[in-house]
């Protein structure tokens, strides 16, 4: 996720909107340091022969992850957050497929091929040496809870 789209062969118009939303979110919850890296990657990709030749441009998900991080969502929740808005579209395609015998829209089946049952080890019992170290520059200065609380209080002030 992040670059390329099977429909948009030019810059994804939704990505431009999400980039502007990112600035609005940063005005509320502080600027996420990863945005600088994302903007640099975008600039490099838009000038790189590989990306230009294949018409790979930032898609709607490129900046969304940075927004989610700024809002304080844990990274392991990103797949769920990316999936939630797509669910309505997936259900609509499935409904169209079932209702219209002439419908040519066919989506590939999603078959989970990952691990079956896995044992869970509580965090307190895990080997801390195996936990990857996070670059101190990428760490947030405020907790997820305080970021969401700040965003909610800002939204409530806007309504008044």
In this structure, the number of other CB atoms found within 10 A of the CB of residue 94 comes to 12
- 5 in active site: yes
- Nearest to 35, CA basis, from 10, 18, 54, 51: 18
In angstroms, how far is the first alpha carbon of the chain from the final one? Answer: 37
Choosing from 61, 99, 100, 127, the catalytic residue is 61
- CB-based burial, 66-84: b 16+ in 10 Å, e otherwise: bbbbbbbbeeeebeeeeee
- 61 in active site: yes
- Nearest to 81, CA basis, from 91, 97, 102, 67: 67
Instruction: Kindly give the interhelix angle for 13-29 and 144-159, rounded to the nearest 10 degrees.
Output: 100
| Active site (catalytic) residues | 5, 61
């Amino acid at each position: 996720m992040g670059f390329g789209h099977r429909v948009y062969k030019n810059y994804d118009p939704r990505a431009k909107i999400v980039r502007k939303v990112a600035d609005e979110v940063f005005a509320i919850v502080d600027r996420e340091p990863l945005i600088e890296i994302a903007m640099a990657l975008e600039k490099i990709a838009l000038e790189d022969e590989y990306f230009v030749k294949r018409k790979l441009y930032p898609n709607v998900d490129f900046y969304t992850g940075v927004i989610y991080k700024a809002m304080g969502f844990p990274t392991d929740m990103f797949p769920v957050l990316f999936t939630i808005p797509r669910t309505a579209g997936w259900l609509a395609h499935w409904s169209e497929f079932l209702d219209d015998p002439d419908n040519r829209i066919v989506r590939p089946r999603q078959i989970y091929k990952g691990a079956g049952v896995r044992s869970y080890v509580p965090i307190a019992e895990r080997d801390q040496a195996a936990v990857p170290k996070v670059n101190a520059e990428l760490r947030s200065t405020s907790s997820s809870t305080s970021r969401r609380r700040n965003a909610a209080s800002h939204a409530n002030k806007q309504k008044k």
